[in-house]
Amino acid sequence: MSLKVLGISASPRADGNSDLLLKQALAGAQSANAQTEYVRLADLNIAPCVECNACYKTGKCRVDDDYQLISAKMLEADRLIFATPVFFMTVCAQAKLLIDRCQCLWAHKYVLKKPLVETAGRDRRAMAIAVGGSKSKKMFDSIRMTMKYYFDVLDMHYTANLFVNKMEDPAQIKKHPTAMKEALRLGAELIIAPKPPEKTIDVELT
C-alpha cells in the first residue's frame, strides 16, 4: 500500500515561493508512488489557541473549527511536508495558528500519556520548507526549533529541511532551478529512503 503524504502550505499567497516548493516536493513524492494531498491553511478557518487547558483532561481541543479536520489528516499521514514563508524571522501567522492548536496533541501525549496514532512504531517522517527574503545567516534558526517540537508532538521523525533565502518577489523561486530540483529530490527521498537519517538533512540555498 502506498504511503500517504500530506503537504501543508502556510503561505498566505497562492503560488508563492514556499507554496511552489511544496508542490514540487509533493510531485517528487508522487513520482515515488506515494499518495499525496495538498492543504492550504489560508483556505481553512483555524482560530488561535485560547489556552483554556481543557485538553489537559480530554486530550482534545474544545474550539470547534477546521483544526479538527487537519489534525486528523496530520495523524493519519505517513509523511508530512510543511511549508512556510519566513515573517520576522519565524513561521508566518497561518503556520503558528495551526502549530499552537497542537497543544491538545501535546497534552494527549505528555499529560495524559496516551498514544497519538493507532499503530505503535510506525515509520512517520516530516520535512520542512521555508523561504525568506533576509540576508541574515540566522534567519532559519527559529524555523528549525519550531519544527523540531511540532514534529515531535506528531510522533514524526524530523527528516529534512529545504530553506531558501533572498527570495523577495512573488514566484521568484521559479528562477532558482537548484531549489526546485532539491524540492523534487527531497520529496522523493522522503518516500524511497529505507530508513530516516540519523541527523536531519539540511539544505540551505541562496
The beta strand positions in the chain, using DSSP E, are 4-9, 35-40, 79-87, 90-91, 125-131, 157-164, 201-205
Tell me if 4 sits within 8 A of 34, measured CB to CB.
yes
73: closest CA among 47, 105, 42?
105
Q: What is the CATH number of the domain that holds 14?
A: 3.40.50.360
pLDDT digits (tens, 9 = 90+) for 110-131: 999 998 877 667 899 999 999 9
Output the pLDDT for position 177.
94
Question: Taking Cα atoms as reference points, which of 76, 67, 7, 70 lies closest to residue 37?
Answer: 7
| For range 78-95, the mean pLDDT | 96
Q: What is the pLDDT of residue 173?
A: 95
| Mean of all residue pLDDT scores within the chain | 95
42-67 pLDDT, tens digit per residue, is: 999 999 999 999 999 999 999 999 99
pTM of the model: 0.96
Instruction: For residue 110, give the 3-state DSSP assignment.
Output: helix
Pick from 85, 59, 54: which is nearest to 153 by CA?
Answer: 59
The band of 109, judged by pLDDT with boundaries at 50, 70 and 90, is very high
Residue 140: band (very low, low, confident or very high) from pLDDT cuts 50, 70, 90: very high
Domain of 29 in residue numbering reads as 4-205
pLDDT of residue 120: 65
Q: What share of the chain is helix, strand, coil (3-state, %, to 5)?
A: 40, 20, 40
For cell 513561521, name the residue: 91
For the chain, how many structural domains are there in total? 1
Q: Which residue has the cell 502549530?
A: 99
What is the structure's pLDDT at 121? 73
